[in-house]
Structure 1
Amino acid sequence: MKIVVTGSLGNISRPLSTALVKKGHSVTVISSNPDKRKEIEQSGAKAYIGSLTDAQFVAEAFTGADAVYCMVPFDFSVADQDAHMQQVTANYVTAIQHAGIRKVVFLSGWAAEVAGHDMTEVYRQLPGVNVSELRPAIFYTNFYQMMDMMRGKGMMGLAMGLRAYGIRALFGRRGLLLGNYGDNDRIVLVAPEDIAAAALEELETPVTGIKIRYVASEELTCNEVAAILGGAIGKPWMKWIRISDKQMLQGYKMAGLPEQLAASLVKMQAAVHDGSILARYERQRPVLGKVKLKDFAREFAKRYI
């Protein structure tokens, strides 16, 4: 098949495009960064460089494709993230219609409904298109943004790693993680590699109509997560402490996040603490992926040093 992959060479798109090429598909990878062209082409895929906010560019990129993998990246130069996401999604819809594509994999997140990013209206614009919506849980890779906190260096760069709607933390001291969910709250984590594997499966498996698939690798409490990561970096006493929504919101604002985005993130994370996101997940609980937190922790420890 001719397959277009959005997301450049990100944590999901890189292993997905690599796997598709190895399986003999003709793959085009969209990136906004011209510096990625050489690396994309070296992987055996075709590079298509441009902005997802450019409707004409997206339509041209999708022309001739049999299937597409669509994700919407954050753009922190934009104050209204909802408007940005709606624009990119609208460009996808128009391009899919124009190209006559009948196979689509959309990446959203397990908090999509809480965040007000329900895709129902999008799907209504795509009659006759077979769609798999992937709803991954909290990315393991979000923990890379917590390294300074684990080292006891105070507030970390919260503006990074926000795509997965997941783990957030601030005002740390050595051996602590903080967020507006924590302690013994149950959370679900996922490895990007397991998301890529799910996307590959959905692209190659016949789907009729609309399919929603949650993607997860591990189910733990926050303190179990802290113990695993802490053990890997020589801090087995590490704890994950919950702070208030108000404190969380203040931290995001101090980190420079737009007010609308900060409020949305706090709302989503509060829904982890109160269990409402978990309840939705459990209604369509998936088979857990292969990559466990202990596997990720070994890689995390190498970067932590």
Structure 2
Amino acid sequence: MKILVTGATGTVGREIVDQLAERGHHVRALSRDPGRAKLPAGVEAVAGDLAAPETFAAALEGVEALHLINFGGDDHAPLQTGEQIVALARQAGVRRITVLLGGASMPLDAAVASSGIDATFLQPVEFMANHLEWAASIRGEGVVREPFCDRLSAVVHEADIAAVAVAALTQDGHAGKTYTLTGPEVLSLRQKIAILAAAAGREIKLVELTEREARARWAAAGFPPESIEFLVEVYGNTPELGRTVVPTVERVTGRPARTFARWAAEHAAAFAA
């Protein structure tokens, strides 16, 4: 089966590429800069931009399944090109599409849902990989600075998100489904830091920021106002979806979702002194 993966160098996209390649599928990996992608042997790197569908029309030739993300560019802006992407996919004879959702409904989602192509939507909660953002401060100072330290999360391993995507891209029975994807446990911020400390073999101190301090930090990092408001809402008032375990990963893949302790062990070197 020939499969095109967009966002192929992203956190989830790269996992999808790796898992498909391990299973022997013909994988095309779409990137705006394929020369820097460092893809597995046998994976076909192709250049293209989801915000300009004409740039990857040729890459759809012979493709049976397509993985999409619903944002584009360095600013993760919602794609406005869903209708064009879907039209190209129909012309190419694509039979299955998966879409990685970002929480809010975006224009591409509706275009795919009404495309007539078998589609599966993936709605993960917080990625375990997001905690790599702490790596520099932990390595350098042994400190994590975060607001809303009592927040809870059913944090999910990026490899499990990819495994569900791979199943939907390669197997029947997933069309028309929207899968909420979580890990196997609900953890507080303090629990996650304790797990990271054990994996890295070092003490990690948690410093709680006020909301005002957090807003200032995000603004200094270049976050637009709407992104800051989203973070304040999600962290300060985490929706039930984000802090409730569901068994989707195990139901779809046939094995339990990976734990945060496993993720921490896999990435312990990133947090070591």
Q: Contact conserved, 1:175 with 1:239, CA < 8 A, in 2? A: yes
Cα-Cα RMSD: 2.9
In the alignment, what sits opposite 2:153? 187
1:100-142 superposed Cα distances (whole Å, 9 cap, x missing partner): 3221111114xx1xx344876334431x211111112211211
Q: Which amino acid aligns with 1:125?
A: S
Q: 2:180 aligns with which of 214, 231, 234?
A: 214
Over 3 Å counting, the alpha-carbon distance change for 1:296 and 1:147 in structure 2 is: same
- Pair 1:138 & 2:126 matched: yes
The answer to whether structure 1 residue 291 and structure 2 residue 255 are counterparts is no
Q: Is the 8 A contact 1:58 1:91 kept in 2?
A: no
Contact 2:71-2:79 at 8 Å conserved across structures: no
- Is 1:268 the equivalent of 2:234? yes
Correspondence 1:164-175 to 2 at 5 A: 174-175=142-143
- In structure 2, C-alpha distance between the alignment counterparts of 1:129 and 1:208, rounded to whole Å: 12
Aligned with residue 146 of structure 2, among 175, 178, 197: 178
Deviations 1:170-206 (A, max 9, x none): xxxx534413x322x3201111211121111111221
Identity fraction in percent: 23
Where do residues 195-234 of structure 1 align in structure 2 (5 Å cutoff)? 195-207=161-173, 209-219=175-185, 220-234=187-201
Partner in structure 2 of residue 6 of structure 1: 6
Asked whether the equivalents of residues 105 and 131 of structure 1 are also in contact (C-alpha less than 8 Å), the reply is yes
Q: Distance in 1 between matches of 2:183 and 2:242?
A: 14
Report the TM-score, using the length of structure 1 for normalisation.
0.75
SS of 2:91's equivalent in the other structure is helix
Which amino acid letter does the alignment assign opposite residue 230 of structure 1?
A
Task: State the one-letter code of the partner of 1:227.
Answer: A
Give 1:208 shift.
Answer: 6.0
Q: List aligned pairs for 1:91-102, cutoff 5 A.
A: 91-102=84-95
Task: Kindly indicate whether residue 29 of structure 2 is the aligned counterpart of residue 29 of structure 1.
Answer: yes
Counterpart CA distance in 2 for 1:192 and 1:229 is 17
Deviation for aligned residue 1:68: 0.5
Unaligned runs of 5+ in 1: 154-173
**C-alpha distance 120-197 of structure 1, shift in aligned 2 (>3 A):** closer
Q: Which amino acid aligns with 1:100?
A: G
Deviation string for 1:191-227 (max 9, x for gaps)?
1211121111111221364101122224222221121
| Partner Cα distance (1:101, 1:253) in 2 | 41
CA contact (8 A) 1:52 1:91 kept: no
Aligned residues: 266
1:57, 1:91 → 2: CA distance?
A: 12
Cα shift at 1:19? 2.7
Tell me whether 1:20 sits opposite 2:20 in the alignment. Answer: yes
State the distance in 1 between where 2:247 and 2:268 align.
30
Unaligned runs of 5+ in 2: 251-255
Inter-partner Cα distance in structure 2 for 1:285 and 1:178: 29
Residue of structure 2 aligned with 1:48, choices 24, 46, 58: 46
Deviations, residues 239-293 of structure 1 (Å, cap 9, x unaligned):
474632x443222111122233333333333341xx34337x56x6524544221
Q: Is the 8 A contact 1:223 1:240 kept in 2?
A: no
1:58-97 correspondence runs (5 A): 58-72=56-70, 75-76=73-74, 78=75, 81=76, 84-97=77-90
**Paired amino acid for 2:192:** V
Which of 277, 283, 287 is the equivalent residue of 2:241? 277
Q: Quick one: distance in 1 between partners of 2:72 and 2:234?
A: 16
CA 210–242 in structure 1, closer or farther in 2 if over 3 Å, else same: farther
Give the stretch that moved more between structures: 227-236 or 284-293. Answer: 284-293
**Residue in structure 2 matched with residue 255 of structure 1 by the alignment:** 221
Whichever residue aligns with residue 107 of structure 1, its letter is: L
